[in-house]
Chain A
């Protein structure tokens, strides 16, 4: 590899991509070339840095300067000032919101301080389209070690000792899964990587594939060695074009280097990987549904057992792990089970990646040791709630999870604690909500999702969730009764006990957890016909404060249904029976006389 004095790392993740990071990259390259610096300074597009809130991000190495919200117009200044004259461009540095000081090294930023990046170790450091960069950071060393120094059983033992559990949501011990599949007797076996990240609000798998695809390829090969498989398949969402491209490039490079194919690294081990595309069905995240989809069928789940480890893809033993789980494997093998199991909490080892989003200041992708508290994540890493509003709830686990509140903030995050609190780890989506979010509407939002995504095979899920959604809709329209709340609880229990697969068994969780934690809000919707967050349109009432009304007639003139009456220069009133709650009066009033109750 050529030696460069300086590197400019430009984030090429999806969010930054959308903010013109590609044009920024091209502009930087052109100016560097114009100045004749292209033999000394290299410009690289990397994977996601995680700090999507402040994207696009440019990092200057070796001095670790972290520029935020860089536009193509800023390219010239960075090169002329920083690269040539050695003076940092202060206005592009991160501004610490408390001390109001510029921070140049990401290590000192609140967002990064508490993070420990293992699965994301290479995201934002290397060019994902260049295998040499992965190799220079100990890439494929773990595979070599397994193939030449360890037996499959030894690798499985190491994985079991490390305590790594499936990061897709289930939390099943990875080493144990490998062991079960390795013991199934068959001529052909498969390693499947589940990259069908369907959780709305979670994007860690996409970021890993975009930023460090080789780590997944290496881990799949190691898994193949352990279970005795020579075929690997990645089931990936068609909605992730960038990740698909990067994965294809990585597979091609690995083949060229003899790290995939026949006789890998001169041993007798053969392994290759193909891609299979998803087509937008949430239920395909479930192992058996995913396997049916890969076979070209409707992605409907089937009863377990038989488990895929015994009978999976075309009835052959199949080991399914998700992207983040695989990304951890090479590091664990390189650094050892003791190193890994020392990180995290008692029953959940290692780290977990979370997609932090919603009403929070620092939206982005973070990785923290298991056992970190929600408070640390939301306030220290996330920088607290947007616009100084009050924290209300954090939703974890996506449509299968639940809402956690103020009283859970000091709970250490791990698989078991989250379940005990009425939610779950899921794939790691973490959506923060503030006082303006109505919890009945949130439950309805998730049920709407489940109803749409239910495959329709089993009755509890197909019909039960539909009924849950209808009752929630009734509540948000102010037509609910107290019996409806009990009905929600009973029906939820029945669905949980009787649905066929993970989707149905967990779909009532958002309803149950919001009833548990926000019962008073449900009751208010029924008894007072009130939505304290002001989200449920049917329950809102627009009224005019007589003291503030000057009689300008602006509201009356703009009301599309003539619901407002009053003389010029006289106090106006809104006829509630005619009002359609469009909000036009509120928008037009210049005297703050119109309010929502």
Chain B
């Protein structure tokens, strides 16, 4: 795996996070949440530091990271796009929305555009079923979408 150079102050920040949870191994998931907040994703280097700090094996950390869909080992785009694939969105045409995003951005689900601006992911139910089909760009929710509205959303963030 390619090594990534992590900046020293971010490493310190991560160690502080571990310390704030008393380097308790039972707090691993809470630590990972914070770490993903700092780095945006959880590359191998970050997992190694956490394993050392909490005194557990890297395999244990990796096992947990790969188990939960909320954690990612790949960097996301500047504007991460998440398409809701809950049942309510599915029956109201979420699949067509995914196809359109794939076509407009020319990437597959799980990928990031070459310029690093957009990444595409699917998630299960944000609970805004009244607005189905729903898409999240960052934290912003876009509801009642049609394939036609996809272009406008991408344009909004392309400026």
Partner of B29, one of A53, A279, A364, A455: A279
Tell me if B132 and A455 are in contact (CB < 8 A).
no
Contacts of A53 in B (CB 8 A): 130
Q: By the criterion of a CB under 8 Å from any partner CB, how many residues of chain A are at the interface?
A: 53
Tell me if B29 and A201 are in contact (CB < 8 A).
no
Provided the pairs A296-B27, A296-B29 are in contact, do residues A395 and B124 lie with their beta carbons within 8 angstroms? no
Provided the pairs A18-B131, A202-B125, A395-B87 are in contact, do residues A359 and B92 lie with their beta carbons within 8 angstroms? yes
Tell me if A279 and B33 are in contact (CB < 8 A).
yes
Provided the pairs A296-B29, A298-B64 are in contact, do residues A281 and B69 lie with their beta carbons within 8 angstroms? yes
Contacts of A240 in B (CB 8 A): 127
Partner of B33, one of A55, A238, A293: A238
| B75-121 CB contacts (< 8 Å) to partner A | 85-88, 90-92
Interface centre among B67, B87, B124, B139 (most CB of A within 10 A): B87
5 A-B contacts (beta carbon < 8 Å) = A18-B128, A197-B127, A201-B129, A359-B91, A363-B132
Partner of A18, one of B30, B85, B124, B141: B141
In the complex, whether B41 has a CB less than 8 A from a CB of chain A is no
In the complex, whether A280 has a CB less than 8 A from a CB of chain B is yes
In the complex, whether A239 has a CB less than 8 A from a CB of chain B is yes
Contacts of B33 in A (CB 8 A): 238, 277, 279
In the complex, whether A429 has a CB less than 8 A from a CB of chain B is yes
Tell me if B68 and A52 are in contact (CB < 8 A).
no
Assembly CA distance A446 to B124 (angstroms): 12
Assembly CA distance A449 to B30 (angstroms): 25
Assembly CA distance A175 to B71 (angstroms): 37
Tell me if B68 and A281 are in contact (CB < 8 A).
yes
Interface contacts beyond A52-B129, A200-B90, A201-B129: sample of 13 additional A-B pairs, CB < 8 Å, sorted by A: A14-B141, A15-B128, A18-B131, A18-B142, A203-B129, A277-B30, A281-B69, A296-B26, A357-B87, A357-B88, A359-B92, A363-B129, A446-B87
Taking the closest CB of chain B, its distance from the CB of A24, in whole angstroms, is 15
In the complex, whether A299 has a CB less than 8 A from a CB of chain B is yes
Provided the pairs A295-B26, A296-B27, A298-B63 are in contact, do residues A15 and B129 lie with their beta carbons within 8 angstroms? yes
Provided the pairs A18-B143, A277-B33 are in contact, do residues A239 and B88 lie with their beta carbons within 8 angstroms? no
Taking the closest CB of chain A, its distance from the CB of B66, in whole angstroms, is 9
**B129-148 contact mask (Cβ, 8 Å, vs A): 1 or 0:** 11110100001111100000
Q: By the criterion of a CB under 8 Å from any partner CB, how many residues of chain B are at the interface?
A: 38
Contacts of A355 in B (CB 8 A): 129
In the complex, whether A437 has a CB less than 8 A from a CB of chain B is yes
In the complex, whether A467 has a CB less than 8 A from a CB of chain B is no
In the complex, whether B6 has a CB less than 8 A from a CB of chain A is no
Taking the closest CB of chain A, its distance from the CB of B144, in whole angstroms, is 9
Taking the closest CB of chain B, its distance from the CB of A105, in whole angstroms, is 21
Tell me if A296 and B88 are in contact (CB < 8 A).
no
Taking the closest CB of chain B, its distance from the CB of A211, in whole angstroms, is 13
Contacts of A197 in B (CB 8 A): 127
| A300-320 CB contacts (< 8 Å) to partner B | 314
Provided the pairs A18-B143, A359-B92 are in contact, do residues A279 and B87 lie with their beta carbons within 8 angstroms? no
